[in-house]
Amino acid sequence: MADVTLRKVIKRYDDVEAVRGIDLDISDHEFIVLVGPSGCGKSTTLRMIAGLEDITDGDIMIGGDVVNDVPPKDRDIAMVFQNYALYPHMTVAENMSFGLRLKHYPKAEIKARVTEAARLLDITDLIDRKPKQLSGGQRQRVAMGRAIVRNPKVFLFDEPLSNLDAKLRVQMRIEIKKVHQKVRTTTVYVTHDQVEAMTLADRVVVMNHGRIEQIGTPNELYHKPATRFVAGFIGSPAMNFLPCRLEEVGGKLNLRLTDRIAFPLPPARAARYNALPRSELLQLGIRPEHITESHGHLEPGVESFDTVLDVTEPMGMETLVYFGLDGVAVCGRVNPNAGAQDGAPMRLAMDLNNMHLLNETTGVVL
């Protein structure tokens, strides 16, 4: 087991820069998830750690050693691929032991390790089957087993659950978490699914356009996003962004959303944003769960307003409501019993204690 460090790592394909100088410190035993939209450079980063792609510039260190020019087989890593990449002509046991057999491990030890990994992953009964006789979930377990038996320094997962159906994905997600709790191997996991990232990671690395937007625990990313990209990427339904400006009315700071709607800022927020120039182009970032139905007694910092709903989506435990504010579509989450109906007027409340204020030009959260 080992820590992994990336220093100013750059990957260039001809004139396209896929990874633009990223720095990342992954500590021993940590479960790191790289997440971002397709083409953000997350898979390339993973493949560079694996040694499947050369790095154009910078340094990659595993366990303190620079591995820039070390071939994959000598990096002591194991990788799980999206399409499993099981050897179709070998049985499950042969698949799992292939790496060990190449390294001429004693037969008894190979058998012991395979048996142990199979037990851990609950695939003991499948050990003599060929990959084509297995279901998607079973294949993914075998692929993980192949990684576990080698007892590597680092596990690399490249979108391992993307080929599974939604139900199985949730199940396997839990399995992966359980396995990591048992083996505690440093893990780098790539996904485009922010739910997977949030549920699995000790820390999440959000990437965009070959750069790291933010690194943090799932809660940090959710509650304290650094940029508009992170704020919009993490969370489903996504955060609402509304153009707004600050104005001072009677010595108090107000947030003006439309000509009709302006809210006084809660004292803590007012103090935080007081220094901002009043003319600055700003955006209000507010998550759907902070726009709910209005009650009689509103907490401090929660402001109500009237609107007409465009569409409602009953989800069972909640109802998503969509409405427009000055032409911008906004999503809110209300109680299913709040009586939200398509096209009907409704009084909603916005919790400004959980708001974010963003610079519209730079996208930075202020």
Residue ranges in contact with other proteins by CB under 8 A: 50-52, 71-73, 77-79, 81-83, 85-89, 98-99, 102-103, 146, 150
Nearer to other proteins, 52 or 61 (CB): 52
Nearest distance in Å: CB 98, other proteins: 5
Matching residue, tokens 């943090």: 216
Nearest distance in Å: CB 53, other proteins: 10
Instruction: Show Cβ contacts of residue 50 under 8 Å, excluding neighbours closer than 6 positions.
Output: 72, 75, 77, 79, 156
Nearest distance in Å: CB 195, other proteins: 24
Length of the chain equals 366
Nearest distance in Å: CB 158, other proteins: 8
Nearer to other proteins, 83 or 341 (CB): 83
Residue whose C-alpha is closest to residue 17's, from 43, 42, 41: 41
Nearest distance in Å: CB 290, other proteins: 42
Nearest distance in Å: CB 50, other proteins: 6
Nearer to other proteins, 62 or 215 (CB): 62
Nearer to other proteins, 159 or 303 (CB): 159
Strand order in the sheet with 203-208: 77-80, 154-158, 186-191, 31-35, 203-208, 211-216
Neighbours of 130 (CB within 10 A): 16
Residue whose C-alpha is closest to residue 151's, from 197, 189, 113: 113
Nearer to other proteins, 85 or 366 (CB): 85
Report d(CA 287, CA 73) in Å as an integer. Answer: 45
Nearest distance in Å: CB 361, other proteins: 42
Listed in sequence order, the DSSP H helices in 103-227 are 107-121, 136-149, 166-183, 194-200, 218-223
Nearer to other proteins, 153 or 287 (CB): 153
Nearer to other proteins, 51 or 137 (CB): 51
Report d(CA 150, CA 363) in Å as an integer. Answer: 44
Nearest distance in Å: CB 87, other proteins: 6
**Do 7 and 58 touch, CB atoms closer than 8 A?**
yes
Report d(CA 48, CA 123) in Å as an integer. Answer: 31
Nearer to other proteins, 76 or 193 (CB): 76
**C-alpha dihedral, 83 to 214 to 24 to 26, nearest 10°:** -70
